[in-house]
């Protein structure tokens, strides 16, 4: 029923609405749609129609988030290589439960949009302890890292604006850029992260100057690569040249378990108004808390606060206090140390299992942090479409995220992301064994 000819063209591709719920079907001869190229009409099950924003054609939904609900309904013994999240045993649940019981007076009212003063103070102290200068005028508490990304793109992107992203990159990062109708330029990465040297030519070919560069410089999701210092410096120069904002998405930076710290953009250029850094407690504490923060120039922060006011007024006040109290008790450093040990062990187990059990059937990354390995199928397996492999793998009791989820261009059909965060080393070995069985079955088709 959809009419692809009338779907808006963005970045050379015709797009239809995918994702959750019923499809929105733009129709050429629809009496409600006055301008068929500019209107998107939702046809409900009842037959009723509603004209929606064109940007709904870009709300593709995230395979990763859909797999959270999908996996919830699956057999319990599934090896969960899909999600980038710590599991319950690595979350200080007992501490949180105790802190929830703390005197609650005044914690259930609306809070300041920029964040609870107690959390801002604890956060600033935490960052200072780790050698980062943290001016409270540059901090803004957000509802998870995702809201930080949403605000960042909202401040920077008008429809049709060019945004440079790494390819592959975090599904919801592209999703957010597209929700503001960005034109996304997917730039290649190698072992040192985004190939910054290639950008001038790639950008020149678009005929546009980028408004933003969206990068995950530390332990990139999904590839696990880290952007080298030289490339960070070069990217800052390009941002100068283009007056482009660098949206620095850094959920994993605090968890480095191997190798040397690479200075962040804000360390290389303190007070640069073009750097918006988006961070979160989701990976070091718990994703369900939905507590993150932004670090940005005071002038931008004022706009970000205005944007957040029109989104959710403030981040959950009780949750902010749980995190503030947890930080005040001083347990975070010890907790992060433990996570580093556990994740190093799990990463090593996964790399070893992949090398031993999948040998020359895949190439794998070997990251120094983050939660993920990026596997690329080789040889006879290279023709397998990892989206088709997914249901087979699920039947064999292992879940991963197929490569195409990390791009808007349909690339990476021969790749998959596997997370080592959620499973013990024993389960990791079992998961890789199941993946091999699934590959064998898929290859025989």
| Residues near ligand PMP (CB under 6 A) | 84, 144-146, 170, 216, 221, 249, 251, 280, 282, 287, 292
Beta-bridge partners for 141: 293
Identity of the residue, 171 or 392, whose beta carbon is nearer to ligand PMP in the bound complex: 171
Q: Which is nearer to ligand PMP, 27 or 347 (CB)?
A: 347
Least gap, CB of 417 to ligand PMP (angstroms): 10
Query: Of the two residues 150 and 381, which places its CB atom closer to ligand PMP in the complex?
Result: 150
Residue 115 or 144 having the CB closest to ligand PMP:
144
What is the SS3 assignment for 100? Answer: helix
Least distance to ligand PMP from the beta carbon of 413, Å? 21
Nearer of residues 146 and 213 to ligand PMP, judged by Cβ:
146
Q: Which two tokens stand for residue 11?
A: 């970045």
Q: How far apart are CA 5 and CA 346, in angstroms?
A: 48
Min dist. Cβ of residue 290 to ligand PMP (A): 7
Q: How far is the CB of 137 from ligand PMP (least distance, A)?
A: 23
Distance, CA of 371 to CA of 368 (rounded, Å): 9
Q: Smallest gap, in angstroms, from Cβ of residue 24 to ligand PMP?
A: 26
Is residue 103 classed as helix, strand or coil in its secondary structure?
coil
First to last CA, the chain: 31
Phi and psi for 411 in degrees, rounded to 5?
-75, 175
Q: Which residue's CB is nearer to ligand PMP, number 245 or number 438? A: 245
- Spatial separation of the C-alpha atoms in residues 44 and 348, rounded to whole Å: 49
Question: Which residues of 220-267 form beta strands (DSSP E)?
Answer: 245-249
Q: How far is the CB of 151 from ligand PMP (least distance, A)?
A: 12
The DSSP element (H or E) to which 116 belongs, if any, is none
Distances (CA, A) of 98 to 95, 109, 315, 332, 370: 5, 21, 21, 16, 29
């Amino acid at each position: 029923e959809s009419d692809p000819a009338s779907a808006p063209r963005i970045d050379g591709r015709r797009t239809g609405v995918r994702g959750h719920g019923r499809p929105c079907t733009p129709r050429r001869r629809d009496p409600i749609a006055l301008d068929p190229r500019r209107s998107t009409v939702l046809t409900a099950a009842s037959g009723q129609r509603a004209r929606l924003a064109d940007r709904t054609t870009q709300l593709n939904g995230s395979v990763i988030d859909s797999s959270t609900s999908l996996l919830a309904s699956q057999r319990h013994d599934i090896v969960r290589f899909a999600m980038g999240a710590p599991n319950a045993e690595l979350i200080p649940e007992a501490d949180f439960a105790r802190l929830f019981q703390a005197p609650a007076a005044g914690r259930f009212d609306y809070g300041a949009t920029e964040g609870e003063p107690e959390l801002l103070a604890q956060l600033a102290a935490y960052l200072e302890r780790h050698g980062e200068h943290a001016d409270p005028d540059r901090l803004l508490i957000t509802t998870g890292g995702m809201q930080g990304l949403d605000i960042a793109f909202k401040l920077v992107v008008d429809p049709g604006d060019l945004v440079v992203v790494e390819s592959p990159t975090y599904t919801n990062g592209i999703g957010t850029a597209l929700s503001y109708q960005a034109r996304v330029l997917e730039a290649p990465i190698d072992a040192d992260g985004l190939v910054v040297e290639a950008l001038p030519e790639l950008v020149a070919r678009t005929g546009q100057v980028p408004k933003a560069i969206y990068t995950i410089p530390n332990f990139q999701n999904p590839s696990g690569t880290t952007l080298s210092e030289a490339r960070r410096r070069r990217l800052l120069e390009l941002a100068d040249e283009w007056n482009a904002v660098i949206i620095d998405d850094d959920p994993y930076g605090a968890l480095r378990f191997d190798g040397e710290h690479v200075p962040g953009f804000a360390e290389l250029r303190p007070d640069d108004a073009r750097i918006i850094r988006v961070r979160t407690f989701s990976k070091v504490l718990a994703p369900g808390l939905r507590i993150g923060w932004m670090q940005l120039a005071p002038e931008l922060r004022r706009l970000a606060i205005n944007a957040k006011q029109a989104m959710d007024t403030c981040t959950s006040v009780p949750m902010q206090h749980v995190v503030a109290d947890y930080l005040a008790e001083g347990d975070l450093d010890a907790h992060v140390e433990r996570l580093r040990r556990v994740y190093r062990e799990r990463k090593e187990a996964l790399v070893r299992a992949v090398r031993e059990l999948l040998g020359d059937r895949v190439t794998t990354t070997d990251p120094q942090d983050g939660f993920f390995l990026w596997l690329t199928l080789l040889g006879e397996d290279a023709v397998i479409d990892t989206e088709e492999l997914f249901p087979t793998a699920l039947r064999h009791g292992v879940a991963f995220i197929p490569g195409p989820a990390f791009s808007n261009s349909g690339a990476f059909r021969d790749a998959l992301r596997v997370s080592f965060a959620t499973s013990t080393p024993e389960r990791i070995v079992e998961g890789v064994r199941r993946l091999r069985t699934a590959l064998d079955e898929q290859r025989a088709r």
